[in-house]
């Protein structure tokens, strides 16, 4: 059975096309402090080659404490989503370790969603089915956009900026949510600096920013997560409930922080959250 799963996975991967990274801005990114790779946010498309009707898409924000970007929470997720027929786009956002602070990261994530929406026809994507997914600090970035999006600027000269930055769904994997009691201190420092104001702490505590128009979310965490306390996801799920926003919320007993798919490439050893996500995506009409 395991051998069969590995063969199937290899066959599916042959139908994945990973393009070169695309700069989010054709010129210097707003707020850029230089012109080196760390100053240039990019989006890398992973597009299933199989033809068919316009598909759903997901912008992926890897974790790394706002100090780095974990590939296993980026390209690995993209290939997994491709197996489900979903186009994926891995975001390289700017980081606190390079001297950047909020709102630069949020601006990068918003721009990524706008870019995918603006090129939906080219990439065979349904512009009403563009989500955002993130792990750990990348989950915080995703949750920030889920609660602080905008409709775009219809008068902008840049056609990308005319697009809405609102994701249609969110997927939060052991996400940092709050900047309060249960925060991940390293992520908070990299995002907000050493002495952020109370107003900034409140603004970047996503559980305090949920509104009725926050998109539906899939949230998962583990009880034994030693890096980011499970209370982060619990706070966000509670806020969604209070605002009557649909969500799926899973807390698994076992699993270390940063586990990603929970396997080393073999679908048979993936963590159950991947199966639960596939089921949820089907209920949203995102997969056949």
Residues above pLDDT 90, as percent of the chain: 88
For residues 276 and 107, what is the distance between their CA atoms, to the nearest angstrom? 30
Tell me the per-residue pLDDT of 140-197, one tens digit each, with 9 for 90 and over: 999 999 999 999 999 999 999 999 999 999 999 999 999 999 999 999 999 999 999 9
Rounded Cα distance, 174 and 234, in Å: 10
In the predicted structure, residue 1 carries a pLDDT above the cut 80: no
What gap in Å lies between CA 118 and CA 208, rounded to an integer? 30
User: What gap in Å lies between CA 114 and CA 24, rounded to an integer?
Assistant: 10
pLDDT score, position 17: 55
The CATH number of residue 163's host domain is 3.40.50.1820
Task: Give the number of domains in the chain.
Answer: 1
3-state secondary structure of 97: helix
Rounded mean pLDDT, 20-28: 96
Instruction: Flag whether 95 is in a domain.
Output: yes
Q: Is residue 21 part of a domain?
A: yes
Mean pLDDT, to the nearest integer, of 238-253?
A: 98
What residue numbers bound the domain in which 37 lies?
2-283
Tally helices (H) and strands (E) across the chain: 8, 9
Q: Give the sign of the dihedral formed by CA 187, CA 101, CA 68, CA 81.
A: positive
**Which range has the top average pLDDT, 4-13, 39-48, 266-275?**
39-48
For residues 225 and 237, what is the distance between their CA atoms, to the nearest angstrom?
17
Share of the chain above pLDDT 70, in %: 93
For residue 265, the model assigns a pLDDT of 65
Q: What is the rounded radius of gyration, in angstroms, for the C-alpha atoms of the chain?
A: 18
> Is 288 inside a domain boundary?
no
Cα–Cα distance measured from residue 280 to residue 288, given in angstroms and rounded to the nearest whole number: 12
Asked whether the predicted pLDDT for residue 15 surpasses 80, the reply is no
pLDDT at 18: 61
The per-residue pLDDT for range 26-78, each reduced to its tens digit, is 999 999 999 999 999 999 999 998 778 999 999 999 999 999 999 999 999 99
Mean pLDDT of 193-202: 97
Does the structure show a pLDDT above 60 at 9?
Answer: no
Alpha carbon distance 43, 112 (integer Å): 7
Q: Summarize pLDDT for 122-153 with one digit per residue, the tens.
A: 999 999 999 999 999 999 999 999 999 999 99
- Mean of all residue pLDDT scores within the chain: 93
């Amino acid at each position: 059975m395991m051998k069969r799963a590995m063969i199937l996975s290899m066959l599916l991967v042959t139908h994945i096309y990973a393009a070169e990274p695309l700069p989010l801005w054709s010129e210097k990114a707003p707020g850029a402090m230089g012109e080196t790779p760390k100053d240039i946010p990019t989006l890398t498309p992973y597009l299933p080659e199989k033809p068919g009707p316009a598909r759903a898409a997901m912008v992926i924000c890897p974790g790394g404490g706002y100090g780095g970007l974990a590939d296993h929470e980026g390209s690995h997720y993209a290939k997994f989503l491709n197996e489900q027929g979903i186009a994926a786009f891995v975001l390289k956002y700017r980081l606190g370790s390079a001297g950047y602070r909020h709102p630069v990261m949020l601006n990068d994530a918003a721009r990524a969603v706008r870019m995918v929406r603006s090129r939906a026809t080219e990439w065979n994507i349904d512009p009403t089915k563009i989500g955002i997914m993130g792990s750990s600090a990348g989950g915080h970035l995703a949750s920030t956009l889920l609660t602080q999006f905008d409709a775009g600027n219809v008068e902008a000269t840049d056609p990308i900026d005319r697009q809405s930055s609102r994701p249609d769904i969110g997927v939060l994997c052991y996400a940092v949510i709050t900047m309060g009691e249960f925060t991940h201190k390293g992520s908070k420092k990299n995002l907000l600096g050493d002495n952020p104001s109370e107003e900034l702490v409140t603004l970047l505590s996503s559980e305090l920013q949920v509104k009725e128009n926050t998109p539906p979310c899939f949230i998962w965490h583990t009880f034994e997560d030693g890096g980011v306390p499970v209370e982060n996801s619990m706070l966000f799920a509670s806020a969604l409930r209070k605002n009557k926003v649909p969500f799926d919320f899973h807390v698994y007993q076992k699993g270390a922080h940063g586990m990603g798919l929970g396997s080393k490439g073999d679908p048979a050893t993936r963590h159950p959250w991947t199966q639960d996500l596939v089921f949820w995506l089907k209920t949203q009409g995102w997969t056949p």
